[in-house]
């Protein structure tokens, strides 16, 4: 009898065409699916909590798959890490109820966007460099109004197949972390390209090109053409995916 499992992983997205399997590019989903199928000795579909774009990283991505009982979760993860490339790492495995879904059961997701004002060879692939001074206080004041709205059409990629552009944002703020400025945003769901579009627009606020009222007007316009350009992919991280406790079979996990 097959059981459903949630698996937690992290990856550096630099060399991938995003999470989702692509016909003409290497994806994280494909690498993970191939590795699990190899260990299971049978093709095993892997479904992720969402999809990250090409070049975007994940400190926490969650996926689900169905498999025969995994008797030794810690050993399974160790073997899986041995098969996966060095820029993908699995680190937790939990048994869930049969209908649990990594994408549809998620109650919120958190992203971070990293910005650095300095030239730093160690941040070439991990943070977006900005060349002009930024007013982070103004950017924070603008970011603070995001939870007041639910329709984020102005920050959505055009011509997507979603039924609604409504999202509930619960936090959005900038904070300094060492030599990096980090934008943290949590919502129940995100639209394609949404975080990068928000960051690109907030950067215009930071440069003095937009006021807080301008930022508010952009949201209310529900027009992607009014917002700023999308920020670079390599500064974006999926950092958390949260689920209700009710979907888990037990408290057992492997770490």
| 53 counts as catalytic | yes
**From 34, 45, 53, 179, the catalytic residue:** 53
- Is the Cα dihedral 121, 125, 126, 127 positive or negative? positive
Radius of gyration of the chain (CA): 19
- Tell me if residue 3 falls in helix, strand or coil: strand
110-129 core/surface letters (b: 16 or more CB in 10 A; e: else):
bbbbbbbeeeeeebeebbbe
For helices 194-206 and 136-143, the axis angle rounded to 10 degrees is 130
CA dihedral defined by 183, 188, 190, 195, rounded to 10 degrees? Answer: -10
Name the residues annotated as catalytic.
53
């Amino acid at each position: 009898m097959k059981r459903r499992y949630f698996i937690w992983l992290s990856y550096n997205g630099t060399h991938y065409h995003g999470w989702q399997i692509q016909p003409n590019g290497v994806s994280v989903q494909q690498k993970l699916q191939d590795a699990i199928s190899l260990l299971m000795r049978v093709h095993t579909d892997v479904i992720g909590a969402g999809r990250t774009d090409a070049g975007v990283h994940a400190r926490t991505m969650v996926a689900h798959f169905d498999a025969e009982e995994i008797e030794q979760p810690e050993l399974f993860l160790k073997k899986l890490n041995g098969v996966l490339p060095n820029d993908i790492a699995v680190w937790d495995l939990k048994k869930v109820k049969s209908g649990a879904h990594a994408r549809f059961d998620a109650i919120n997701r958190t992203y971070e966007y990293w910005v650095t004002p300095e030239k730093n060879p160690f941040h070439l692939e991990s943070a977006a460099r900005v060349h002009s001074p930024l007013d982070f206080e103004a950017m924070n004041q603008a970011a603070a109004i995001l939870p007041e709205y639910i329709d984020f059409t102005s920050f959505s990629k055009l011509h997507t197949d979603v039924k609604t552009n409504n999202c509930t944002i619960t936090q959005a703020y900038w904070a300094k972390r060492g030599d990096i400025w980090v934008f943290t945003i949590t919502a129940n769901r995100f639209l394609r390209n949404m975080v990068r579009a928000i960051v690109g627009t907030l950067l215009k606020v930071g440069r003095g090109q937009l006021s807080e009222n301008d930022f508010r007007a952009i949201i209310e316009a529900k027009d992607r053409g009014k917002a700023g350009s999308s920020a670079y992919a390599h500064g974006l991280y999926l950092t958390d995916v949260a689920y209700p406790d009710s979907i888990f079979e037990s408290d057992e996990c492997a770490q």
